[in-house]
Chain A
Amino acid sequence: MSTPAIEVENLGKSYRLRGIAKSSLRDILVHGWKKQQTEAFWALRDVSFTVPRGSSVGVVGPNGSGKSSLLGLIAGTITPTTGTVKTHGTISSLLELGAGFHPDLSGRENVFLNAAILGIPREDIARRMDHIIEFSGLRDFIDMPVKSYSSGMYVRLGFAVAVEMNPEILLVDEVLAVGDLAFQMKCLDRIRDFQKRGKTILLVTHDLTTVEQFCDDVKLIHQGHLVAQGDPSDVILTYLKTYMARIGHLNVEEHGTREVEFADVRLLDENGKEATTFTTGRTMDIEIHYRAKQPMDQVVFGFSIKTGNGFFIYGTNTQIMNVPVPTLSGDGVVRLKIEPLSLMEGKYFLSLAIHSWDHTVHYHRREDWYPFAVKSESPAHGIFQLPCKWQIN
């Protein structure tokens, strides 16, 4: 339809490593001006995409992948090294909550200063002052210098001013990570409000649940490259599978003596097809291909499942369940069938282990190695589907 809100073409940003370390007069005297531009670090490279007006786009990726650089480039605080960013419409970001607050000025004075920085006209702010004070919940403190504020109060005041902006494009960078739950709710409400009014939103966060809830499109950035984009669930799963497990954002680890090891592990859905997304109440089949380097007796296979934020849900093994395991030698397959899968919608991690009968020797353990998602067809809440019945007399 109309022109897109954001057009990014071949965007690249390189930092001179020497430049980052700040040049000193000595460097210049010793090396001269020219010599300094040798080593370059590409924070972002060859990124191209367009964001249609009115859409909400999430940007995910491991720490240091270039997400914040991308946002800075779109916001205009950073100058691109290569390529172009075109934005259509006024742009504001929630990445500068309380930027420019001065500790010695009162809350009220800082509101005016902050508004000027964000480009909100003074009359608007003066008229809305009461509302801002109310929203921030700082009525008793508004005339005190902000150096006496707690960090939460500081951010709340910053947010109260920021929401007075009325941009067409809103950039949000990890705002949701600060503040208490009530504040986060307010933030999310406000973002929803923006969505309803047809504004374009670009959201950078590590909170994948939020991304999945809010965005119609997700960009996955890794080492400065745009590696995946599209449907939120798919991209998030790719992210979890490809990067999180390897980079150690989660407590992922693998160890063991490897006398028996996992050769291949497949997660299969109710149709016997390899999958990463499963459905509540259906089947999840785990096909474990093992390899025993020598004949092994009294081997135990175990598994456990954790939620995306590390909460331990369930774990058991062949020993607890009295499943006899014969002497293993060579290659073989062990199947674990979870039916019905009573997990509710969300992201989960599967850990697998092969260990000795007395738990003293771990042959092979893979902690949180296999991420998977569950979709629920019911609007019920929670992480676990409890078998339940209503009885109404």
Chain B
Amino acid sequence: MNAISAVITHRELLWNLAARELKLRYRGSALGFLWSVLIPLFMALIYVIFLRILGGRGVPLADIIIGVFAWQYTVQCVNAGLSSITGSANLVKKVAFPRIILPLSATLANTITYAMSLIVQFPLVAILFHTTGQHFNPWIALLPIVMVVHIMFNLALALFLAGINVIIRDAQHLVGILLSAWFFVSPVMYNMDFVIAHVGDHPWAPKLFLLNPLTVIINAYRSVITADVPFQWELASYVSLALIGAFFAFSYWLFKRLQKDFADLL
């Protein structure tokens, strides 16, 4: 609770740091914010082509676009969170303010970018739906709820990694490897239909996929956006959602515990 009040009293700092992050990201580049949309778009195109060649099975481009945008958002939060304390050593050592502001502002900046990229994503998805005859789901009204869960998960990752990276500097290298592994076990460039079609002989395999919180989040995005894409309302999904809550609580606790030593270790 006191963290919330501390954040409220320091909200100006939070905004300023997030604004700095955003300003710096696009400063001096001609395309600026467009890159935040172009990169996941190009990635989506690459995945769709390769999947067709390698997998021999098509996945709707709209699904891949939704998946890649969501994945990019998480990756950005992981990377920004990882360096949020170590990259601000100067600040942490010299000024007393709630440390949680740093991973929080890093997450906030990426959330703003993500929200803006969604504005570009929807017309694209609409065009794709038009060509394939798909429709938007009226449940798209629930999109903010999916986003809240996603934001919470990303913030938990940022808090966890921000603290851990101060104590163990190996974290930043490990995270790079883990991210590539995570990418392949998450339905970013494929969807659940693809999984079921490939490992359908083992009924437990899709459930294993669902234990990955990011799978559930991406599935939820696709379900609320696209008509007739069902959400897997089953135990594994609930467990995954519970995991997000537990991970958030744990990350917050860990960060609070580690933060008193930050100034000493930087």
Q: Which residues of A contact B (CB under 8 A)?
A: 15, 19-20, 22-26, 28, 72, 75-79, 91, 93, 95-96, 99-100, 102, 104-105, 109, 112-113, 116-119, 121-122
Q: Give the complex CA separation of A289 and B263 in angstroms.
A: 52
User: Which A residue sits closest to B9, measured CB to CB?
Assistant: A119
Which residue in B16, B28, B88, B96 is a CB contact (below 8 Å) of A116?
B16
Which residue in A26, A28, A79, A116 is a CB contact (below 8 Å) of B260?
A79
Q: Does B234 lie at the interface of the complex (its beta carbon under 8 Å from any beta carbon of A)?
A: no
Interface residues of B in 247-266 (CB under 8 A from A): 260-261, 263-265
The answer to whether B91 and A99 have CB atoms under 8 Å apart is yes
Q: Does B169 lie at the interface of the complex (its beta carbon under 8 Å from any beta carbon of A)?
A: yes
Q: Does B94 lie at the interface of the complex (its beta carbon under 8 Å from any beta carbon of A)?
A: yes
Which residue in B97, B168, B264 is a CB contact (below 8 Å) of A25?
B168
Q: For B201, what are the chain A residues with a Cβ–Cβ distance below 8 Å?
A: none
Q: Does B216 lie at the interface of the complex (its beta carbon under 8 Å from any beta carbon of A)?
A: no
A15-B264, A24-B169, A28-B168 are contacts. A100–B96 as well, Cβ < 8 Å?
no
Q: Give the complex CA separation of A75 and B91 in angstroms.
A: 13
Q: Give the complex CA separation of A26 and B169 in angstroms.
A: 11
Q: For B92, what are the chain A residues with a Cβ–Cβ distance below 8 Å?
A: 77
Name the residue among B17, B88, B93, B95 with the largest chain A CB count within 10 angstroms.
B95
**Main secondary structure on B side of the interface with A:** helix
**Contact flags B69-96 to A (C-beta < 8 A → 1, else 0):** 0000000000000000000101111111
Q: Give the complex CA separation of A28 and B169 in angstroms.
A: 12
Q: Which residues of B contact A (CB under 8 A)?
A: 10, 12-13, 15-17, 20, 23-24, 27-28, 88, 90-97, 167-170, 174, 260-261, 263-265
The answer to whether B27 and A104 have CB atoms under 8 Å apart is yes
Q: Give the complex CA separation of A76 and B174 in angstroms.
A: 32
Q: Give the complex CA separation of A109 and B16 in angstroms.
A: 10
Q: For B17, what are the chain A residues with a Cβ–Cβ distance below 8 Å?
A: 113, 116
Q: Give the complex CA separation of A49 and B79 in angstroms.
A: 44
Q: For A119, what are the chain B residues with a Cβ–Cβ distance below 8 Å?
A: 10, 13, 97
Q: Can you list 7 A-B contacts (CB < 8 A)?
A: A15-B264, A20-B264, A72-B93, A78-B263, A100-B90, A105-B23, A119-B10
The answer to whether A100 and B264 have CB atoms under 8 Å apart is no
Name the residue among A28, A78, A122 with the largest chain B CB count within 10 angstroms.
A78
The answer to whether A105 and B94 have CB atoms under 8 Å apart is no
Q: For B167, what are the chain A residues with a Cβ–Cβ distance below 8 Å?
A: 23
Q: Distance in Å from the Cβ of B261 to the closest Cβ of chain A?
A: 7
A15-B264, A19-B261, A24-B168 are contacts. A117–B91 as well, Cβ < 8 Å?
yes
Which residue in B27, B97, B265 is a CB contact (below 8 Å) of A117?
B97
Q: Give the complex CA separation of A104 and B29 in angstroms.
A: 13
A15-B264, A78-B264 are contacts. A23–B168 as well, Cβ < 8 Å?
yes
The answer to whether A19 and B95 have CB atoms under 8 Å apart is no
The answer to whether B12 and A105 have CB atoms under 8 Å apart is no
User: Which A residue sits closest to B96, measured CB to CB?
Assistant: A76
Q: Give the complex CA separation of A118 and B261 in angstroms.
A: 21
Q: Give the complex CA separation of A122 and B20 in angstroms.
A: 15
Q: For B13, what are the chain A residues with a Cβ–Cβ distance below 8 Å?
A: 116-117, 119
A113-B16, A117-B13 are contacts. A79–B95 as well, Cβ < 8 Å?
no
The answer to whether A22 and B16 have CB atoms under 8 Å apart is no
Q: Distance in Å from the Cβ of B125 to the closest Cβ of chain A?
A: 35
Which residue in A19, A20, A99, A116 is a CB contact (below 8 Å) of B90?
A99
Q: For A109, what are the chain B residues with a Cβ–Cβ distance below 8 Å?
A: 20, 23
Q: Give the complex CA separation of A99 and B263 in angstroms.
A: 14
User: Which B residue sits closest to A22, measured CB to CB?
Assistant: B169
Q: Give the complex CA separation of A79 and B258 in angstroms.
A: 11
